[in-house]
Structure 1
Amino acid sequence: MFSRVESVLSAKGLGLDYLFFVKDCAIDLSLVGIVCTRDDGSVKIIAEGQEDNLVKFVERTKQRNATHPIENFYLKWGKYTGEFKEFTTDCGHH
C-alpha cells in the first residue's frame, strides 16, 4: 500500500550533509518527496511510497542522528497524494 509520512526534527549539528543523507535514503528505498531546512533550523521531510519502505526510511533517518541526539521529533502518517515525481532537496529556508 502506498502512504505518506511527514516529519520535522531538530538536533544540533544537522547540516547539508544530513539533507543529502535523507535524499540518498529515500532514493535507495524508491520514495518520492522533499527534505528541506526550515527557518528555525529544523528539518522537514515529506515522503511518499510503499508503506514498508517508509517505515525503514523513518528508522534510517532517526538512526543517522546517533552523534547528534534528536531534540524534537514529529511524525505524521497520511494518505498517498501523488504530489511528487522524485525526491528533492531544498537547501533554502521555509
Structure 2
Amino acid sequence: MDEQPQARLTATVTGTVQGVGFRYYTRERARGLALTGIASNEADGSVLIIAEGADRAVRALAQWLTSAAAPGRVDDVDASYGKPTGEFRDFRTG
C-alpha cells in the first residue's frame, strides 16, 4: 500500500477574514481535501487554521487561503508545517 506523507498546517490568516464566511468556506475546502482540523476566529480579527492530512492536500489548502477563491480579503498568511497529532476527527469551525 502506497501511503502518502502526512502533515500539519498551522496558519494565522489576517485581513478581512471575519464576518465574511471565511471559516465556513475553509471548512468546506478542507473537507473536500479530506483534511481534519479547525478554523477559528481569534480576538485580534485573524483566523487560526489547523489542518492535518496528506501533505499534498495540506499544501493545497494553504495555497487556497491566498487565492482569489477565498472569501474576504487576505492580507497575510503566516503558515508553518509540522507532524500531525491526530487530535481531530473531522474539520470544524470554532
TM-score range normalised by the length of the shorter chain: 0.7 to 0.9
User: Which runs of 5 or more residues in structure 2 are unaligned?
Assistant: none
Q: Provide the C-alpha distance between the structure 2 equivalents of 1:14 and 1:65, rounded to a whole number of angstroms.
A: 12
Q: Which residue in 2 is equivalent to 1:45?
A: 49
User: Which runs of 5 or more residues in structure 1 are unaligned?
Assistant: none
Q: Provide the C-alpha distance between the structure 1 equivalents of 2:24 and 2:41, rounded to a whole number of angstroms.
A: 11
Q: Residue 85 of structure 2: SS of its match in structure 1? A: coil
Q: Which residue in 1 is equivalent to 2:38?
A: 34
Aligned residues: 89
Label 1:67 to 1:38 Cα distance change in 2 as closer, same or farther (>3 A): closer
Label 1:53 to 1:38 Cα distance change in 2 as closer, same or farther (>3 A): same
Q: State the 4+ residue runs in structure 1 displaced beyond 4 angstroms.
A: none
Structure 1 letter corresponding to 2:64: R
TM-superposed deviation, 1:14: 3.6
TM-superposed deviation, 1:73: 2.0
Q: CA RMSD in A?
A: 1.7
Q: Residue 76 of structure 2: SS of its match in structure 1? A: strand
- Percent identity reads 27
**What pairs with 1:9-28 in structure 2 (closer than 5 Å)?**
9-12=13-16, 14-28=18-32
Q: Which of the two has greater helix per residue? A: 1
Query: Which of 59, 64, 74 pairs up with 1:60?
Result: 64
Q: Which residue in 2 is equivalent to 1:8?
A: 12
Structure 1 letter corresponding to 2:33: L
User: Over residues 38-73 of structure 1, what are the superposed CA-to-partner deviations in whole Å (9 max), with x where a residue is unaligned?
Assistant: 0011000000000001111111122134862x3232
